[in-house]
């Protein structure tokens, strides 16, 4: 399957065409700002001109370091216009991790948002050009300090878009391997083009579609499989800087979203909201999840809302290769779907060295999943041996173990190597083990993933050593080299780490023992148990908020130290309920990032605390405070402010007194009626949090009853 070389596959040329034909149609909605196709094309040409002025051209690597933004997209389009290779870097990586990527790709230019410039400077190889850009092109961030260059204020003439044949490399998508060293996957323009064709056969994208993107764009699924595909067909992309459950649900409803992709943990966070059941999601036609298994209760929760949560399967090296049709979900629970139209999937003996000629195993028999498709990447940059191990004549070894049923539905039964998926991000245990193993008090270490209701899986480190090194110390030791989502959220101190007969760490046995709560496996006298399959991740909806505690009514009147003690106890209890394996003792000066708080768990904890204190807490609350004590002081202040008596309540009190003492003069009673109606209206639109009503106080119902009894119908 080869596209004729005369076919123009340039995404930059396609955006130019859409700008000419439908320039005012909205291409991107980004954090409240809208960009038509003409504006998007102009921004991309402006950036392309700046890149070309610095000498970037055919085959040069253009790195982007930043978050989800319009500039992420325009950098890709600018690189494509010049025939350069776009290299999106995981925005969560530390400078040492970024340095490994940059050393491998040898960038010509590094395009970075202002907040990422320090990481880029620390990681950049000497010759690279540094270009500072705002994440939102509408923002003016001023001149960047040397050695950074800034985008010119004007839009100079940009070169015409180069011809993009199918074999031209479009982007390098970096993914870690079993050694923890990242590999640059060479995805071509043909791969991206065929991915759109393949997906359109099962989940059509059209000009009037609206796609919501909340997952990080440095992943190929949200970028190539959804955002880019929608734009190439003239649709609209609603792009969020990051994920927040409240925003995602509001966006689905407000913008009439027709297509959305998210990992299961994101869908679960949305479904756990109180307003999920009442939200108007009638426009949503396609909801796709991947990156981790979608639990049956989560699928059922969306089915109750008339939404088929479709499982999909793919890898960075292949893009999407399987989809579970919406009408087959109930009949094939647990399947990741059928092979896409231009894709062959085969199950082979993992020990078979001949990939193209390997015999397919019969239906139901487990083996390694291999596949062939025009979406399979060319290989890994600068790694011929690694490429030869898994790529051969259009086929690719996934390393995943699974089986095909008699009808061709694919089921995965084991993880590729020792990968852990935290909130949709891949974490390789070997990489974490290498860093933790350098700690002076750690003699031996094993890292595994365990099911986590917020993140899908959590990172657990089993360590041996003469000194019991705590979680906070290990996280602080590793945070300079590892992104936060890779850091362990639990540490198990062991006398021994189980190994099999080959001397390899027995990770299936470790996972099974930890899932069962049995740590005897780590005692010196224990014999290594037989291998047991890992427990599948489970995502459950968040519990309903607790009843309003009685002490909340009187909290503002307590002495400051007593307020602090009560709020501190609630926060610690919330941490214990939210973070599996959290330390039993948490101190005021403990840093929140040292107690194993992942991003989605932080969102859940903020929700719990907001429910308990009846506050409207943004999901970023926990990231805005460094220590537990700082968070507690913030909550004390919020509760005190929230319990302040609104002025309108004093007006209502005056009204009660006036009604009681007023004469029967109709004019006076008419005036009182008007005052009360106005006061109640102001109370209804007051957006400040109101204090819980203590026992014995007049309620809204009492006030309305008073109105009816004293004044009669209005």
Q: How far apart are CA 604 and CA 413, in angstroms?
A: 29
Residue predicted with more confidence, 693 or 411: 411
Residue predicted with more confidence, 325 or 8: 325
Per-residue pLDDT tens digits for 117-144: 999 999 998 889 999 998 877 666 677 8
Per-residue pLDDT tens digits for 375-397: 999 999 999 999 999 999 889 99
What's the whole-number average pLDDT of the chain? 83
The pLDDT of residue 543 is above 60: no
Residue 548 pLDDT = 54
In percent, the amount of the chain with pLDDT more than 70 equals 80
The winner for highest mean pLDDT among 277-281, 595-599, 647-651 is 277-281
**Beta strand spans in 405-537 (E):** 410-414, 419-422, 425-428, 444-452, 456-464, 490-493
The pLDDT of residue 582 is above 60: no
With beta carbons less than 8 A apart as the criterion, state whether 237 and 209 touch. Answer: no
Strand order in the sheet with 26-30: 33-36, 26-30, 236-239, 210-213, 259-261, 286-289, 309-315, 319-323, 338-339
Per-residue pLDDT tens digits for 612-637: 887 877 767 777 788 889 899 888 88
The pLDDT of residue 652 is above 60: no
pLDDT classification of 550: cutoffs 50, 70, 90:
low
CA dihedral (32, 154, 11, 169) positive or negative: negative
Q: How far is CA 388 from CA 61, 84, 382, 428, 631, in A?
A: 23, 25, 12, 21, 52
The pLDDT of residue 649 is above 80: no
Q: 3-class DSSP state for residue 396?
A: strand
**CB neighbour list of residue 221: distance below 8 Å, 6 or more residues apart:** 215, 261, 290, 291, 312, 314, 319, 320
Task: Output phi, psi for 261, to 5 deg.
Answer: -125, 135
Please tell me whether the peptide bond between 462 and the residue prior to it is cis, using omega within 30 degrees of 0: no
With beta carbons less than 8 A apart as the criterion, state whether 89 and 65 touch. Answer: yes
Per-residue pLDDT tens digits for 232-260: 999 999 999 989 999 999 999 999 999 99
């Amino acid at each position: 399957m080869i596209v004729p070389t005369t076919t123009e596959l340039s995404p930059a040329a396609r955006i130019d065409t859409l700008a000419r034909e439908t320039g005012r149609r909205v291409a991107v909605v980004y954090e409240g700002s809208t960009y038509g196709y003409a504006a998007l094309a102009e921004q991309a040409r402006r950036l392309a001109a700046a890149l070309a002025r610095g000498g970037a051209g055919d085959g040069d690597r253009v790195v982007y370091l930043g978050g989800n933004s319009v500039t992420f997209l325009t950098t890709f389009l600018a690189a494509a216009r010049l025939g350069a290779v776009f290299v999106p870097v995981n925005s969560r990586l530390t400078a040492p991790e970024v340095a490994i990527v940059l050393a491998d790709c040898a960038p010509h230019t590094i395009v970075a948002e202002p907040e990422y410039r320090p990481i880029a400077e620390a990681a950049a190889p000497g010759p690279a050009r540094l270009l500072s850009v705002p994440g939102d092109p509408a923002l003016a961030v001023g001149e960047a300090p040397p050695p950074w260059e800034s985008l010119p204020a004007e839009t100079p003439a940009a070169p015409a878009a180069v011809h993009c044949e199918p074999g031209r490399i479009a982007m390098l998508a970096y993914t870690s391997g079993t050694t923890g060293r990242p590999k640059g996957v060479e995805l071509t323009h043909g791969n991206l083009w065929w991915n759109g064709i393949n997906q359109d056969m099962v989940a059509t994208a059209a000009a009037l579609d609206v796609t919501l993107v909340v997952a990080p764009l440095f992943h190929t699924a949200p970028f190539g499989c959804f955002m880019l595909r929608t734009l190439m067909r003239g649709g609209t992309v609603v792009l969020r800087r990051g994920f927040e459950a409240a925003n995602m649900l509001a966006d689905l409803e407000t913008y009439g979203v027709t297509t959305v992709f998210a990992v299961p943990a994101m869908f679960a966070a949305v479904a756990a909201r109180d307003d999920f059941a009442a939200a108007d999601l009638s426009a949503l036609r396609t909801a796709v999840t991947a990156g981790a298994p979608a639990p049956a209760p989560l699928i059922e929760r969306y089915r109750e809302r008339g939404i088929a949560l479709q499982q999909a399967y793919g890898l960075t090296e292949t893009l999407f290769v399987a989809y579970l049709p919406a009408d087959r979900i109930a009949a094939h629970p647990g399947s990741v779907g059928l092979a896409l139209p231009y894709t062959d999937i085969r199950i082979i003996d993992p020990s078979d060295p001949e990939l193209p000629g390997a015999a397919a195993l019969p239906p139901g028999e487990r083996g390694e999943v291999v596949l062939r498709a025009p979406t399979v990447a060319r290989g890994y940059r600068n790694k011929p041996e690694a490429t030869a191990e898994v790529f051969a004549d259009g086929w690719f070894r996934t390393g995943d173990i699974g089986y095909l049923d008699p009808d061709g539905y694919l089921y995965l039964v084991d993880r590729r190597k020792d990968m852990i998926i935290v909130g949709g991000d891949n974490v390789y245990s070997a990489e974490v083990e290498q860093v933790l193993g350098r700690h002076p008090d750690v003699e031996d270490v094993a890292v595994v993933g365990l099911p986590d209701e917020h993140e899908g899986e959590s990172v657990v480190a089993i360590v041996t050593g003469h000194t019991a090194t705590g979680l906070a110390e290990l996280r602080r030791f590793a945070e300079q080299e590892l992104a936060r989502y890779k850091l362990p959220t639990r540490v198990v101190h062991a006398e021994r780490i189980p190994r099999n007969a080959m001397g390899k760490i027995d990770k299936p046995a470790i996972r099974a023992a930890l899932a069962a709560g049995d740590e005897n496996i780590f005692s010196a006298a224990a014999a290594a148990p037989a291998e047991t399959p890992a427990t599948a991740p489970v995502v459950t909806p968040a519990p309903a908020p607790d009843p309003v505690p009685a002490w909340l009514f009187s909290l503002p009147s307590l002495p400051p130290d007593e307020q602090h003690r009560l709020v501190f106890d609630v926060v610690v209890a919330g941490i214990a309920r939210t973070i599996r394996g959290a330390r039993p003792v948490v101190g005021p000066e403990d840093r929140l990032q040292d107690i194993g708080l992942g991003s989605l768990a932080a969102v859940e904890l903020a929700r719990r605390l907001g429910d308990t204190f009846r506050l409207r807490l943004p999901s970023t609350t926990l990231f805005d405070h460094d220590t537990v004590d700082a968070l507690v002081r913030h909550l004390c202040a919020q509760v005190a402010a929230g319990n302040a008596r609104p002025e309108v309540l004093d007006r209502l009190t005056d009204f009660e007194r006036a009604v009681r003492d007023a004469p029967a003069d109709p004019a006076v009673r008419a005036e009182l009626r008007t005052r009360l109606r106005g006061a109640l209206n102001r109370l209804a639109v007051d957006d400040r949090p109101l204090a819980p009503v203590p026992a014995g106080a007049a309620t809204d119902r009492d006030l309305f009853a008073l109105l009816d009894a004293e004044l009669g119908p209005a």
